[in-house]
Structure 1
């Protein structure tokens, strides 16, 4: 087993708690599906949000997933770089897996697809 990072990011249209939670849940579910992740494999989940997202905690979304009760999750604020993507939620999920690093499927949704087009695989 190796420790691998799975990246994910999405954006929200509004700074709304319900929207922040639902978009984060959609992203996490997509990351889990794309990499066949079981919560027992997950060492931790780090979530950052840009400063214009403060109506709710994105990490709350993980409470909606079966089996994720004991997965350590932390939220932080993304550094405010001029010209960076606004209303953006980023996730770094650390997992234990036998999958080679180059085969990890990173997931970028909504306007976040512009962040790392080099990591997006064709057909995704």
Structure 2
């Protein structure tokens, strides 16, 4: 039986440039889907945040450009500006229908974002 699970992920970029942010966002999203064996029909919604130093493009734009994800609700927001927090970071919460239990879900942390959840990277989150 499938239930809705939240699947987390994050990735960093080197620069606040439109194409770099779009490429990283798509890389993270497709990796989350691949690692969790998800199809477009499994996705209930996606919530994306970006740190305040990323302003050149909405990370959701690249997902919406993919025809198979056109009708999936996607929301972007600005991450809290906490002193000392990881910069140039895009975070995702993918809500998906899956038969996997909470311990089976694979969260994906790429590049500098691996430092955010070392506990998840060590137990199977993509590094």
Unaligned runs of 5+ in 2: none
- Other-structure match for 1:44: 45
Distance 1:36 1:16, change over 3 A: same
Which whole-Å deviations, capped at 9, do the CAs of 1:16-62 have from their partners, x for residues lacking one?
Answer: 01110000001111101000111111111000000000011100121
Distance 1:116 1:58, change over 3 A: same
Aligned residues: 124
Does 1:100 find its partner at 2:101? yes
Unaligned runs of 5+ in 1: none
8 Å Cα contact 1:25/1:64 also seen in 2? no
Which whole-Å deviations, capped at 9, do the CAs of 1:78-122 have from their partners, x for residues lacking one?
Answer: 011110000000000001111111100000001000000111135
RMSD, matched Cα: 1.3
CA shift, 1:63, in A, is 2.8
Partners of 1:7 and 1:59 in 2: how far apart? 15
Flag as ranges the 4+ runs of structure 1 deviating above 6 A. Answer: none
Partners of 1:83 and 1:111 in 2: how far apart? 14
Partners of 2:125 and 2:73 in 1: how far apart? 31
Q: Output the TM-score relative to the length of structure 2.
A: 0.93
